[in-house]
Structure 1
Amino acid sequence: MPESIWFREDARPRRPRLSRERIVTAAVGLLDAEGVTGFSMRALAARLQAGTMSLYEYVRSKEDVLDLALDEVFSEIGEPSADGTWREILTGHLTRSRAVMRRHPWMPALIATRPLLGPNALAGSRAVYGALAREGLRPPELTAAIGTLSSYLYGFVASENTWWATVRTPAADAELRARVTDHLLAHEAELGHQARVDDADFDTHFLLGLNLILDGIAARLPEDTP
């Protein structure tokens, strides 16, 4: 009669070995929960219920993991559609990018510290460059346009994420905005135009600022571009 599994030391199946994919998925979860400052290889190993040194069978360093995690979440943005005008393509891509960076608030901090050379990041930037290049924009204006759009996106979202990490709820946001409005209006005589507060939300301000930049880019396009 074959020996019963219950009589053996290996009665429980061994946990499968790690993989780079599992490490990256866990890294994204850890970054979402703790941010960049709370990220460490020890904390990542604990999340995976593995030994810290076992991670180094799949990656060389913590920086490798951060690079891989960042490019993984870039995949959530997706490549811009080839349909539509150049403005529609860029607006759609930056709007989706902002949404992903709101879901993963650690992204702007990492983006500012490393080259974006992963396949997902490159696919997105290639499509954005292409949308403007097809309209006749060439370096240095092309490079400057993309840099300006990127800086606006990353700066806006970083500020927005910091705001919501502090204020936390729409109700608290509305209350604070109302108090600011009341204060400025009470000092309208000395503030003048500055007291005329535009109480629009983040979505409205993002699109307004983006359209101002796109208007500037449009002015640099060849005259026969729509």
Structure 2
Amino acid sequence: MTESRPPAVWFTEEQPRKPRLSRDRIARGAVALLDAEGVAGLSMRRLAARLNAGAMSLYEYVGGKEDVLDLALDAVMGEIELDGAGAGGAGDPDRPRHLPWRDALTRQLVLTRDAMKRHPWLPALMATRPLLGPNSLARSEYFYSVLDRAGLEGPRLTAAVGSLTYYVQGYAATENVWRGLRHDPAQEAELRERAQRFIDHRAADHPALARHAQLANSDFDGSFTLGLETILDGIEAQLSH
């Protein structure tokens, strides 16, 4: 019986071949194609054409489209600079302890959101693909080590990492969709003001919304920072338990 191939490209080592192609070159080509066309526009045929290679030659390096997605995802994760490292580097494992834990995590999450804005396909892939590439693992190690040194452990540490990760993924995904639909600032401002007036006129039925909703607010950066601070406050409260 033929053994089924591993479920992730990271479970197989790249075999040395002539330098015409490589996993690194495939990853860079895939990132460019994903940025231009999105996940739906990525195919082995189109990627091969971008790399000026035959489609079948790609299969000497990867098992299929899912492997390509994993390589592209990890290549972009390498753009998120870790403290004490250049882009893509593993960094100094002792560096996180030199930064206040909130500052360290805030910086990483701001950089992660920036990467997700540059590559709008990234949030969905992070939620659906195994984050086992070297750059992804280095980033995860950084988060776990920072929170470990802050005093969290076990399920609370894991929950904190998940809360931070899911927050930035969800925020960036929503922001990307909105920005993809709203290109005219004046039209966006008008839509937001109309939505706010709509709620204000229904204050009797929705008093909490009328008092607190700020639908006219288009400050994505400020809202992101405030939401992140709220989550970090919750994590900090766990440190005394």
TM-score range, shorter chain: 0.7 to 0.9
Task: Report deviation, 1:64.
Answer: 1.2
- Listed as ranges, the matches of 1:84-123 within 5 Å are 84-123=99-138
Task: Report deviation, 1:156.
Answer: 1.1
Task: Report deviation, 1:163.
Answer: 1.2
| Amino acid corresponding to residue 194 of structure 1 in structure 2 | L
Structure 1 position 143 matched with structure 2 position 158: yes
**Percent of matched pairs sharing the same residue:** 55
Structure 1 position 181 matched with structure 2 position 205: no
Structure 1 position 33 matched with structure 2 position 36: yes
Alignment TM-score, normalising by the size of structure 1 = 0.86
Structure 1 position 213 matched with structure 2 position 228: no
1:156 aligns with 171
Task: Report deviation, 1:175.
Answer: 2.2
Q: Would you say the 8 A contact 1:27–1:65 is kept in 2?
A: yes
In the alignment, which of 33, 51, 64 is matched to residue 48 of structure 1? Answer: 51
Unpaired runs of at least 5, structure 1: 1-15
CA distance in 1, matches of 2:206, 2:62: 57
1:191 aligns with 206
CA distance in 2, matches of 1:141, 1:222: 12
1:69 aligns with 72
2:240 aligns with 222
Alignment TM-score, normalising by the size of structure 2 = 0.81
| Amino acid corresponding to residue 180 of structure 1 in structure 2 | A
1:203 aligns with 221
Task: Report deviation, 1:190.
Answer: 3.0
CA distance in 1, matches of 2:184, 2:117: 14
Structure 1 position 19 matched with structure 2 position 22: yes
- Per-residue CA deviations over 1:74-118 (Å, capped at 9, x if unaligned) read 011121463421111111111110010010000111111121111
CA distance in 2, matches of 1:203, 1:184: 24
Matched residue SS, 2:59: helix
Structure 1 position 58 matched with structure 2 position 67: no
Aligned pair count? Answer: 208
CA distance in 1, matches of 2:160, 2:57: 44
2:3 aligns with none
Matched residue SS, 1:150: helix
- Per-residue CA deviations over 1:154-199 (Å, capped at 9, x if unaligned) read 1111111111122234333222112112222233333223123323
